[in-house]
Structure 1
Amino acid sequence: MEHTTRYFLEIAYDGTAYHGWQVQENAVSVQQKLNEALAILLRHGVETTGAGRTDTGVHATQLYVHFESTAPILAHPDRFLHSLNALLPFDIAGKAIVPVATNAHARFDATLRSYEYHVHFEKNPFLHQYSWFLRDYPVVERMNEAATYLLGKNDFSCFSKSNTQVFTNICDIKRAEWIEQDGKLVFHISADRFLRNMVRAIVGTLMEIGLGKKPVSYIEEVIASKDRGKAGTSVPACGLYLTQIFYPYIEKK
């Protein structure tokens, strides 16, 4: 009897051409392309499970998925990755593969997730689809002051898409900070979990504060309301990157 092993596969992708991570009807997704490439390489059907879902146009510099196979992947892991990357489209890449316990789960075992949101202020054709082009420069100090109110465990229904099937809207945010980099702004946020559209809604709300449209204290009112209508507009997907997934049993790079 052949032995089945569960693996965690680390991937990265440019989400521009895809309708998000998850397989769906009548639209091309990252998961679909990955499943297809793995099935060809391993010569059996593969159903991957991702650490989370990214929306249309959102990118990932690190996402983990798990899948199972009887193929002897561990005998030549570098060869496996080379062959997988040859089958994947140019905008999806396999980065690492590790065997895990049979009950390890890419989504439920993740204890921390991190995102970045990128904003630029001068027209740049090389940043199109990879950063949000904004005309007016906000007051970063105001946005960072407001961001401190996001820290900790709270009900963040105000930043979530409606009618999502989740058991709770409570998240524990560990970091929320804007950093200036070479004339651009990057928002860093880390939490145990995120709701649908949460980061883009948070950025939209903080940007209203930074541009002087709302006071810093407004962020407290938004969170307390649990009302998506109170928060700012969801900013464009192109500037959003999933950057890190942390598991207690996988060493950080």
Structure 2
Amino acid sequence: MPMTDYQAEARPGWLASLFGGSFNVVVGALAMLFTLGVFGTAAWDAYLSNSKDKSGVKRIIAKRWNERTLVFPIEGADKAGRRALFDVVVLTKDYGWVRGSTTELEKYDRRLSPADIQAEVLAPQLRQGLGSARGLISVGLASQEGAIEREEQRGGLRAVRIAQWVQEALGDDIPMWTLNLGRYVEPCIECEDADTSWQRPFIVIAVRKADDGTHISEALADAMSDTINLPSPDRYSTFAFSKFTK
């Protein structure tokens, strides 16, 4: 039904009587909220477009817990659509596994003692950040040298060693899993050099939130996939996820 002239004129008067003298202020505020909403949506779309290239590969923006530790927040879903949030905690490239070792880390060419690992690697900021997690996942992986079967075994042993270090620092109250990614299998011709330490970093993943019944390994695989600056599962030889027990 068309609106009569009386109805068109009476409706603003009714609103004005409801809000009193603040009617114009209310209208202005609503207009501002609408503008901010549109701007916010556009800004978020711009952020998403900047964090992905045209192929859909994601670049995760990191934060820092200290000068040695980068934290990458990621989110993924299992096959049933249940979602989980994770923090991927990675030591900077100065630190990594000694080549061929499953028990030793190094900083540059200096091998770290057990005391160094507790003081430098598992520093107070890292312990505090991991200590609030709902669950922890220690990640083992190996660089491109060597046969895949042998390197997958090495990755598994590294994951177990990290879990042991973390539980020594935090205790065993937080559920712990291991993730063995195996050997790096997709060398980048344009970025490859003689140093492959970046393919075997020290990584612990904190489970921050998860929907009830979430299949954690599926959600994590989804979250890590197609990432350009994290160990995407498609660049390693396996994805072996298991509960850690002493």
> For the superposition of Structure 1 and Structure 2, which TM-score range results when normalised by the shorter chain?
under 0.3
Which protein is bigger by CA-based radius of gyration?
2
Greater share of residues in helix: 2
Greater share of residues in strand: 1
